[in-house]
Amino acid sequence: MPQKRLLIIAHAPSANTMRLRDAVAAGAGAPEFDTVELAVLSPFDTAPADVLAADAAILGTTENLGYMSGALKDFFDRCYYPCLEKTQGLPFSFYVRAGHDGTGTTRAIKTITTGLRWRLVHEPVICRGGWQDSFADECTKLGATVAAGLDAGIF
């Protein structure tokens, strides 16, 4: 079976955000999706070549000061033009850990990925407010849904 590559680009500066990243990876890495291989990277460690090699992507960030983390913004700053023209249609989704809002980050990610012409294949997961274990469950489902779509050749 040909392997498809799912790239998880997750900024995880706290124990809770590490849980979210690991939950996405656990959902996506379930054994039934045996045609899907995962790459889990910090935005700081993600290069354009990683995106060009990916068949789908899930982004994860905190909301800081009403916007995505500097880490994810740095990823876009470095990768936007090298990926533009070459990654159009990339299936993707994202999750946001927001202490109390999340709208600025959601809007910003949607604006940038509209510019890249990436294809949102799952509603973003916004983990808003005080920590709840259900956030991790939602992230597991996010990972599983995107991996299932790749595995089934739907994307």
Ligand X SMILES: Cc1cc2nc3c(=O)[nH]c(=O)nc-3n(C[C@H](O)[C@H](O)[C@H](O)COP(=O)(O)O)c2cc1C
User: Which parts of this chain interact with ligand X (CB under 6 A)?
Assistant: 14, 16-17, 62-66, 97-102, 131
Q: Which H or E run contains 134? A: helix 133-151
Least gap, CB of 114 to ligand X (angstroms): 22
The tokens for 99 are: 């202490």
Taking the least distance from each CB to ligand X, the nearer of 50 and 63 is 63
Instruction: Give strand pairing partners of 127.
Output: 97
Taking the least distance from each CB to ligand X, the nearer of 85 and 100 is 100
Q: Which residue is nearest to ligand X (CB)?
A: 99
Taking the least distance from each CB to ligand X, the nearer of 30 and 112 is 112
Q: Which of 54, 59, 53 is nearest to 8 (CA)?
A: 59
Least gap, CB of 105 to ligand X (angstroms): 8
* Residue 127, CA distances (Å) to 20, 32, 63, 108 in order: 9, 27, 10, 16
Q: Which amino acid is at 46?
A: T
Least gap, CB of 48 to ligand X (angstroms): 27
Taking the least distance from each CB to ligand X, the nearer of 22 and 63 is 63
Least gap, CB of 128 to ligand X (angstroms): 7
* Residue 151, CA distances (Å) to 2, 53, 55, 89 in order: 10, 16, 11, 17
